[in-house]
Structure 1
């Protein structure tokens, strides 16, 4: 079984982004592997360690700096990587999920993958659309927000998060697309020996324009702005004072 796992380069979760000139300023900003994609990589590597998969291939779309992010996935245990290179920003401004799903479709079909694992969403755009769109384009079954995965015969059982708890879905047979949620696993740290080995692993580069996909955004972003600053808080002397202000000033209590 060959697993393709999506890897997205995003602004690090600990960084406070800055908005300048009607866009998010990415200059001199720390970038890292999207946390949900990291969970997908970990799950793919675990399946290989269980001898359920023969090969794990990491795939990323973005500028040349994405190679660094792919090396992180390789250091975690992926066997090789594919970089779909484009100079377009991948945080929804220039490149949106519809185009990304079409790019992934081309690679999945070329690689003849049996399973595609993706993070449930990117922490930059929070769309959560690439996985479902990819499944639709491929005509494959899908499970989103996976919290637990178990191979069962030719298919798998997947427990997924819902607003009301969890539900278990059976995929009778692969191929399939699964998007990974936080509870699925805890990603490993890449060890120094594996980081060194990752430098020797193969990374194929494909120009996005060569795949024949329309990359133009279908939902133009008209404006980007920071949320208004929060009002200053106040200190109260007692619980009674707090209740009084919540009741009479904030009007959140009756």
Structure 2
């Protein structure tokens, strides 16, 4: 039966280590800078270390031209901040030079066959469900698929490549975005098209909202009000903490 509800387009991010061919692949809802940075951070965590050089393609999320028609592309500031945090050099692939990114071109072919090819007929209710299915396919590629030399990707990585990676920093890089938001009569603030509760006594006030890739933290001036896990996926979702709801609404909301 075909899906009848709203559908979301997703994009696959693919990273690969050049010697072992170990692949990281995951789905994101867009190709904007927060997703681009989060994909890199997740890839470093998956590999368990940091490479010396990252060779990305040239989407606008990674590089830009200083002036129209300029042949040189400059690394975007937020991307460079992430690179500095991890101590990695960013060397974008040259335009129309596929040999600069031969390893990832090969990895994309593998993903097309063994991830997209296996899942394209499936229907997933949530982004997390899709990501779980992708993770299973990537596990098979890295841990179970035996190549011509009778090794798996993870075997070659463990024996000959893992020790070349630099250790992960103590804290992961988090991009921070600040917004101001007015609390609605339903004691929720709206941020990035999602809704997060605050104590109902704050209805009508203007609060400061701090957003990272994973958390939403709300302040009244400099005072911490509350924190929520950041909602992703379908717009208009609600994150409501029971302690924020007035007692007369508990039975209505099932709290």
Shorter-chain TM-score tier? under 0.3
- When normalised by structure 1's length, the TM-score is 0.27
Is the helix fraction higher in 1 or 2? Answer: 2
Higher strand share: 1
Q: Which has the higher contact order (CA 8 A, sep 6+)?
A: 1
